[in-house]
C-alpha cells in the first residue's frame, strides 16, 4: 500500500456529515467516505424524504376512499405501484448521484465510495465497494485527517430469530423499491417505521398485520396519545399486541410468524421494523480511544468531540435522537467548531420535536405527562379535541387530540402531544415557545394564547383552545367568554 493520503478533514458518511463542508472549511482538503448503497445518507435515500412521498400518495388514496363521508361520490380505480415508486426515486436518485459527482469532481473534496475502518486514532483504511467515486472497486486506500468526523448513521435492526429463520424479509431500506405490491404484509414492530409503513401499504390496498411485543404502538410517546393511536390502529390493521414472536418460518401465503400465545400471523411479505442501530460495530473503533455507549453509539461531549483529539461524531451514530433535524443541527455545531476551535458551540437537545407520518399523524415536543410528574412538577394537562373547533367540524374529525402538559404553579408549558391531521405543523408554535424562551422561562400558556391573533377558523385554534383550557395559577377564568367553536359569545367573531 502506498503512503497515506492526508486531508484536513475526513468525513465518514454522506448524510448530514456531507453538509460539514461549509465556506469556512472549503479552503482545506476534505475526503467524504460513503459506505452506503447510495450517496446522501439515510434521509435522502431510505428515510424521511421517500417515505413522506409515499405517505402523500397513500393519503390521496385514503381521501378518495373516504370521500363519500363528505357527500362526494368517488371510487379508487387502482394503484399503479411502479408509477408511484418510479416517480419518487426518479427524483431522489439523481439528487444522490449529483451529490456524489459534486464531491468527486470538486477541487477541494474527494469521494471514497467504500467502507472505512480506523487503523489508528485519525488514520483509516477505505475499501472501495462501488464505482462512481473515481477509485477502482476492490482497491484499498489509507487516508489520514487532521480532523475526522464520524457521521456513519444507523441501519435497521433485525432480530436474531428472523435472521436464523432463513425467510426472506424486507426492512425500511429495501421495501420501498419492491417490484409489485403484495396482497398481504406482516410488519414486525410497533414504532415509528411500523406505523408509517402500515399506513402506506394499507392505504394502497395491502392487507396489513402488525405484530408488537408490547401492549401499545408508539409506546415512546405520551401514554394517552399512544393508547388512543393503538385503538385506532386496531380499526385499520390486524394488530397483535403483547405478542412476542416464538418462531419465523416459510409457509402459508409466504411467511408465518408463530406468536408465543400460540397464534399464527401470515403474509406474503415480511417487513422488519424493530428499530435501528448505529453503524459503529465495523468501524475499527477498538483500535482508537473512541468510547461507545452500551447501545453502540459513539460517546461525545456537548460540542460533538469524542475522547480522541481531533475525532468528532454527529447524527444517528452518536445522538440519542435518530432524527434528521437533530443531525442537521449537530452538523451545524460541529462545522462551526471545526472552523472556530476557540469559540465552541454546543448541541441544543432541550426541546427535540418529532412526528410520525402515519394515520392519524402524531407529533410531540417536550415532556410527557409522566416525565413531568417524575421530575416533580405540579402537573396540569389539557386535551383538546379537533372536533370541538370550527375547522375540526369541516374535517368531520372524531379522533384528533391536542394535549398540553404544563406547570400549574408557573403556567408555563412543558410539552405538547398531538394526534390528528397536520400534527407536525400544529405543534410548531409550542416548539417555538419552548425553544425561544428567555431566562424568565418563556410565555405562560395564557400569554401564548392571548398574546397573538389566531386565524379563525383555522385548525390552529385547537392549540389556542387547549392553552385556554389549562388550569394554572394565578387562576383567571379566561374561558368564561369563549366558545370552543372559535366564535366569541357575543358574535363579534
Confidence at residue 3, expressed as pLDDT on a 0 to 100 scale:
84
Does 359 qualify as catalytic in the annotation? no
Give mean pLDDT, residues 6-20: 97
Confidence at residue 2, expressed as pLDDT on a 0 to 100 scale:
65
pLDDT tens profile 25-64: 888 999 999 999 999 999 999 999 999 999 999 999 999 9
* Cβ neighbours for 195, distance < 8 A, ≥ 6 positions apart: 217, 218, 229, 233, 356, 358, 362
Confidence at residue 491, expressed as pLDDT on a 0 to 100 scale:
34
pLDDT tens profile 377-405: 999 999 999 999 999 999 999 999 999 99
Q: Give the HSE-up count for residue 96: Cα atoms under 13 Å, Cβ half-sphere.
A: 23
* Domain spans, the chain: 5-155+277-339, 160-274, 360-469
The residue with greater pLDDT, 190 or 484, is 190
Confidence at residue 217, expressed as pLDDT on a 0 to 100 scale:
98
Q: What are the angstrom distances between the C-alpha of 392 and each of 39, 67, 227, 230, 386? A: 42, 16, 21, 21, 5
Confidence at residue 474, expressed as pLDDT on a 0 to 100 scale:
63
Confidence at residue 251, expressed as pLDDT on a 0 to 100 scale:
85
pLDDT tier for residue 1 given thresholds of 50, 70 and 90: low
Q: Has residue 252 got a pLDDT over 90? A: no
What mean pLDDT is reported for the chain? 94
Give mean pLDDT, residues 67-78: 96
Containing 93, the helix (H) or strand (E) segment is helix 81-105
Q: What are the angstrom distances between the C-alpha of 427 and each of 191, 330, 357, 433, 459? A: 20, 22, 14, 10, 11
Give mean pLDDT, residues 284-291: 98
Give mean pLDDT, residues 444-465: 96
Same topology between domain 160-274 and domain 360-469: no
Q: Give the HSE-up count for residue 98: Cα atoms under 13 Å, Cβ half-sphere.
A: 7
160-274 CATH choice from 3.50.50.60, 3.30.930.10, 2.40.30.210, 3.65.10.10: 3.50.50.60
User: Residues 40, 14: contact at Cβ < 8 Å?
Assistant: yes
| DSSP letter for each residue of 370-436 | HHHHHTT--EEEEEEEGGGSHHHHHHT-SS-EEEEEEETTT-BEEEEEEESTTHHHHTHHHHHHHHT
Confidence at residue 473, expressed as pLDDT on a 0 to 100 scale:
80
Question: How far is residue 163's CA from residue 141's CA, in Å, rounded to a whole number?
Answer: 32
pLDDT tier for residue 478 given thresholds of 50, 70 and 90: very low
Q: What is the CATH number of domain 360-469?
A: 3.30.390.30
Confidence at residue 287, expressed as pLDDT on a 0 to 100 scale:
97
Cβ of 117: how many Cβ atoms within 10 Å?
Answer: 17
Catalytic, out of 157, 456, 475, 476: 456
Nearest to 377 by CA among 350, 409, 336: 409
pLDDT tier for residue 476 given thresholds of 50, 70 and 90: very low
Checking DSSP bridges between strand 5-12 and strand 30-33, what pairing results, if any?
parallel
Cell of 350: 432541550
Q: What is the CATH number of domain 5-155+277-339?
A: 3.50.50.60
Range from 215-219, 328-332, 441-445 carrying the lowest mean pLDDT: 441-445
Range from 114-118, 236-240, 248-252 carrying the lowest mean pLDDT: 248-252
Nearest to 35 by CA among 152, 123, 175: 152
Range from 91-100, 136-145, 192-201, 252-261 carrying the lowest mean pLDDT: 252-261
Confidence at residue 488, expressed as pLDDT on a 0 to 100 scale:
39
Q: Has residue 328 got a pLDDT over 80? A: yes
Amino acid at each position: 500500500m502506498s503512503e497515506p493520503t492526508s486531508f484536513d478533514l475526513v468525513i465518514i458518511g454522506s448524510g448530514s456529515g456531507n453538509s460539514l463542508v461549509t465556506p469556512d472549511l472549503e479552503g482545506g482538503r476534505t475526503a467524504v467516505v460513503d459506505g452506503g448503497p447510495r450517496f446522501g445518507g439515510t434521509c435522502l435515500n431510505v428515510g424521511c424524504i421517500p417515505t413522506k412521498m409515499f405517505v402523500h400518495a397513500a393519503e390521496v388514496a385514503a381521501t378518495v376512499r373516504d370521500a363519500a363521508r363528505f357527500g362526494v361520490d368517488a371510487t379508487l380505480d387502482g394503484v399503479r405501484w411502479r408509477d408511484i415508486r418510479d416517480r419518487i426515486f426518479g427524483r431522489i436518485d439523481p439528487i444522490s448521484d449529483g451529490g456524489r459527482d459534486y464531491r468527486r469532481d470538486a477541487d477541494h473534496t474527494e469521494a471514497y465510495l467504500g467502507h472505512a475502518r480506523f487503523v489508528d486514532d485519525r488514520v483509516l483504511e477505505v475499501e472501495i465497494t462501488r464505482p462512481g467515486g473515481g477509485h477502482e472497486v476492490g482497491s484499498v486506500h489509507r487516508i489520514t485527517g487532521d480532523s475526522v468526523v464520524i457521521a456513519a448513521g444507523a441501519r435497521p435492526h433485525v432480530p436474531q430469530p428472523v435472521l436464523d429463520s432463513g425467510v426472506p424479509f424486507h426492512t425500511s431500506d429495501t421495501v420501498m423499491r419492491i417490484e409489485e405490491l403484495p396482497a398481504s404484509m406482516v410488519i414486525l414492530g410497533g414504532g415509528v417505521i411500523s406505523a408509517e409503513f402500515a399506513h402506506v401499504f394499507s392505504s394502497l390496498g395491502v392487507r396489513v398485520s402488525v405484530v408488537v411485543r408490547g401492549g401499545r404502538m408508539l409506546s415512546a410517546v405520551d401514554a394517552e396519545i399512544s393508547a388512543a393511536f393503538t385503538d385506532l390502529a386496531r380499526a385499520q390493521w390486524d394488530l397483535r399486541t403483547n405478542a412476542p414472536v416464538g418462531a419465523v418460518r416459510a409457509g402459508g401465503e409466504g411467511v408465518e410468524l408463530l406468536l408465543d400465545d400460540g397464534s399464527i400471523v401470515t403474509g406474503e411479505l415480511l417487513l422488519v421494523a424493530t428499530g435501528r442501530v448505529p453503524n459503529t460495530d465495523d468501524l475499527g473503533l477498538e483500535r482508537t480511544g473512541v468510547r461507545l455507549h452500551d447501545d453502540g453509539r459513539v460517546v461525545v461531549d456537548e460540542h460533538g468531540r469524542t475522547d480522541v483529539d481531533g475525532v468528532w461524531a454527529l447524527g444517528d451514530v452518536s445522538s440519542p435522537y435518530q432524527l434528521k433535524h437533530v443531525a442537521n443541527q449537530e452538523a451545524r455545531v460541529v462545522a462551526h467548531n471545526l472552523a472556530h476551535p476557540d469559540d465552541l458551540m454546543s448541541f441544543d437537545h432541550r426541546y427535540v420535536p418529532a412526528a410520525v407520518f402515519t394515520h392519524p399523524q402524531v407529533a410531540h415536543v417536550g415532556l410527557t405527562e409522566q416525565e413531568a410528574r417524575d421530575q416533580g412538577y405540579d402537573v396540569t394537562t389539557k386535551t383538546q379535541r379537533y372536533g370541538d373547533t370550527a375547522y375540526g367540524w369541516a374535517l368531520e374529525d372524531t379522533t384528533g387530540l391536542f394535549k398540553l402538559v404544563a406547570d400549574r404553579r408557573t403556567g408555563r408549558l412543558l410539552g405538547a402531544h398531538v394526534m390528528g391531521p397536520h400534527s407536525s405543523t400544529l405543534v410548531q408554535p409550542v416548539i417555538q415557545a419552548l425553544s425561544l424562551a428567555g431566562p424568565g422561562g418563556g410565555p405562560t400558556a395564557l400569554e401564548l394564547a392571548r398574546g397573538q391573533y389566531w386565524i379563525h377558523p383555522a385548525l390552529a385554534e385547537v392549540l389556542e383552545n387547549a392553552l385556554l383550557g389549562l388550569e394554572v395559577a394565578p387562576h383567571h377564568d379566561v374561558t368564561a367568554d369563549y366558545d370552543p367553536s372559535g366564535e366569541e359569545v357575543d358574535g363579534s367573531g
